[in-house]
Chains A and B, each alone.
Chain A
């Protein structure tokens, strides 16, 4: 059974204080690893898809990386508007299997 574990559960940063969020996964083959951002009372918003170990993607202050067992979401010089819950999800290659999500990391960036 596919599993996703995210750490830490919550993270509080000062504005400008860079850090990383972790997503560890167990999957029988990886079709893709996905990062989403979710604001309170809203649905998740797509950020990145990573397909193979060594791949990296960037968007503004966010950079996602992938290894064979985990993914990191690096946040460089965060701003208060980066405060949100960040969700990681995996998809195995067996047909059109649904995404399996982790519980997320709740990020608070304090001005």
Chain B
């Protein structure tokens, strides 16, 4: 049973560039949430996708956008990258939009130079 998979594992970009991160949820899960985790901090909620729509959004600017596909996989896009966007980006899946027992992927480590 495949867990949550994320790609790529590491990424280096320069300021002003755009990036796309990808996530495949755990088999049987239909809800994907994205979190940003800065070094030494807890994960911070970016947004959640359910039934291909953004259902919840945290306190992140519009530069952060996402998408969910019919197979429940998801993408996180960040435009006009800033140095402060450097972080571990975590994808978590769950069933039916209930956050209980989130299953996390290993994350994408994004470095913005």
Chain B residue contacts of A8, Cβ below 8 A: none
User: Would you give the shortest CB distance from B85 to chain A, in whole angstroms?
Assistant: 19
- Asked if A45 is an interface residue, CB under 8 A from chain B, the answer is yes
- Counting chain B residues whose Cβ lies within 8 A of the other chain, the interface size class is 20 to 34
Flag B54-87 by CB within 8 Å of A: 1 or 0 each.
Answer: 0110100000000000000000000000000000
* Given A4-B42, A44-B43, A44-B90, A98-B103 contact (CB < 8 Å): no
Cβ proximity bits B81-103 to A, threshold 8 Å, 1 near / 0 not: 00000000010100001111111
Question: How many A-B contacts at CB < 8 Å in the complex?
Answer: 60
Among B35, B42, B102, B106, point to the contact of A103 (Cβ < 8 A).
B42
- Does any Cβ of A come within 8 Å of B24's Cβ? no
Decide if B106 touches A44 in the complex (CB within 8 Å): no
Extra A-B contacts (5), CB below 8 Å, given A41-B107, A96-B48, A103-B41: A43-B106, A87-B43, A91-B99, A91-B100, A96-B56
On B, residues with C-beta under 8 Å from A are 4, 33, 35, 40-45, 48, 55-56, 58, 90, 92, 97-107, 109
8 smallest CB-CB distances across A and B, nearest first, come from A43-B104, A101-B42, A98-B45, A103-B42, A96-B97, A44-B104, A101-B43, A43-B106
Residues of A within 8 A of B (CB): 4, 32, 34, 36, 41-46, 49, 87, 89, 91, 96-104
